[in-house]
Structure 1
Amino acid sequence: MKLEAAIFDLDGTLLDSMPIWQGLGENYLLQKKLQPALGLQDALKKMSLQQAAQHFQAAYGLHEAEETILSEIAMLIADFYRYEVPLKAGVAEYLQQLQAQNVKMCIATATERNLAESALERLDIRKYFSTILTSSEVKVGKEDPLIYQRALEQLGAPATKTVVFEDALHAIETATAAGFRVVGVYDETAAQDKERIKALTEQYIYSFSDWKG
């Protein structure tokens, strides 16, 4: 079946950026002289930055406004996106191939827009995507399928001819439960979930040169 549209996650799928997120929450709290709880990193994996800020307020008693927390977190990672984060293997070539086949593409990410835009522009792949949707803008994280549903609406393609590319188990569980076709993308940070991801997705790839669609 000919592919008409593709919805791409950003971190861990197109960008090799997950290392910066490892320990980000802990580092932020330590800067505030607060002791991170055990398991914080796992909990934050399922949250947008906005949700993380709300969690820090509720669980750690931060008195800063949500916007201030988001700004402080963003400052910790902005330079990484602006100057350093690389593409994962085969991404540029695959996006170029899809464009040549007139496949419509968009980004659905938990990352804030300014960070996503800066990395995509520097890496010269922003041109491939008609739109970027962020969890903060749709007001829910990827435990809810809304971001994928909004992406599908904007792409204007049937779900049967649209594929979602994701690396994280919780996002893949959400998308498949909502009836989306999903391709799992390997990332080292989700290696422990590989077998579960394989069971849920129609294909599991280690790089975009492996995708057969």
Structure 2
Amino acid sequence: MIHSAPSPKIPKTYLAYLFDLDGTLVNSEPLKGKALALACQDYDSTTDYTIYQDVMGQDWPTVTQHFFAAANIKPDLNEFNQHFRLHYQTLLKEQLRLSKNLLPYLEHLAKLNCKIAVVSSAANWMIEQVLTQLKLEHFFDLIISQEDVSQHKPHPEAYLTALKKLNIKAKDALVFEDSFAGISAAQKAGCDVIAIRHEFNIKNDMSAAKTCLSDFKELLD
């Protein structure tokens, strides 16, 4: 059962709005799980893609080892990553969707005198494909990816890096996250956090977020 915060109206306007990518801007979390399972299948092993729920938001070595253990395989990681990438890119092209009413909310923010950024632990190629495919690139002033940091969420490095590059204080930034690791990272950086609920993050504790929602329309009403 998901642990979540209530959903009050956001009481202030921020100078920066920082968005995680997977599960926050788009529905890519289950697609990532499916791609991992398909990559395992390439090694003649079957595993349930929903086991990704157990490690969602954690670093890639933890995620892949979780699948390797479940599938009882010991592939070369670089080779496995190539299999994963091919499957994931295909699934993104076929099934990628924006989170509910994200586009109107981004259009709303674009009219404000604020900064908007993507702060993700995903590899740069993943972020680029998602933003390009859905024609979102023009909304964002900054993109922080896996390649820009040495510490994965829940370490706050990604958010601290974004704040520094945007020249924004933590108290003036609002973060959107869909995992316990992401929420923890943003809070350690000193930012307020809104948790995004979806069907795939039911095992993540959202109770520390300022509020929790499943539809960005709740911020436009």
The two structures have a TM-score, normalised by structure 1, of: 0.82
Higher relative contact order by CA 8 Å / sep ≥ 6: 1 or 2? Answer: 2
Other-structure match for 1:202: 210
1:74-108, Cα deviation, whole Å (9 max, x unpaired): 11111222353011111111111111102111111
1:4 aligns with 2:18: no
- Aligned pairs (5 A) from 1:60-209: 60-62=73-75, 64=76, 66-193=77-204, 196-197=205-206, 199-209=207-217
Residues 124 and 146, structure 2, Cα contact 8 Å, conserved in 1: no
Residues 35 and 91, structure 2, Cα contact 8 Å, conserved in 1: no
In 1: Cα distance, 2:62 partner to 2:203 partner: 24
Residues 13 and 166, structure 1, Cα contact 8 Å, conserved in 2: yes
Could you tell which deviates more after superposition, 6-15 or 128-137?
128-137
In 1: Cα distance, 2:198 partner to 2:215 partner: 9
Question: How large is the RMSD of aligned CA atoms in angstroms?
Answer: 2.9
Percentage of matched positions with identical amino acids: 21
In 2: Cα distance, 1:152 partner to 1:60 partner: 40
Q: Secondary structure at the match of 1:189?
A: coil
| Cα drift, residue 181 of structure 1 | 0.9
Gaps of 5+ in 1: none
Gaps of 5+ in 2: 1-11
1:117-176, Cα deviation, whole Å (9 max, x unpaired): 122122121111122212244233212111111111122111111011001122212322
1:48-94, Cα deviation, whole Å (9 max, x unpaired): 446645777899533x3x44332221111112223530111111111
| Cα drift, residue 11 of structure 1 | 1.2
| Cα drift, residue 15 of structure 1 | 0.4
Residues 149 and 157, structure 2, Cα contact 8 Å, conserved in 1: yes
In 2: Cα distance, 1:33 partner to 1:136 partner: 31
Q: Secondary structure at the match of 2:118?
A: strand
**Do the aligned partners of residues 51 and 60 (structure 1) sit closer, same or farther apart at CA in structure 2, a change above 3 Å counting?**
same
In 1: Cα distance, 2:115 partner to 2:81 partner: 31
Residues 16 and 86, structure 1, Cα contact 8 Å, conserved in 2: yes
Could you tell which deviates more after superposition, 90-99 or 110-119?
110-119
The two structures have a TM-score, normalised by structure 2, of: 0.79
In 2: Cα distance, 1:48 partner to 1:74 partner: 16
| Cα drift, residue 35 of structure 1 | 6.7
| Cα drift, residue 191 of structure 1 | 3.0
Q: Secondary structure at the match of 2:217?
A: helix
Residues 12 and 187, structure 1, Cα contact 8 Å, conserved in 2: yes
In 1: Cα distance, 2:177 partner to 2:23 partner: 8
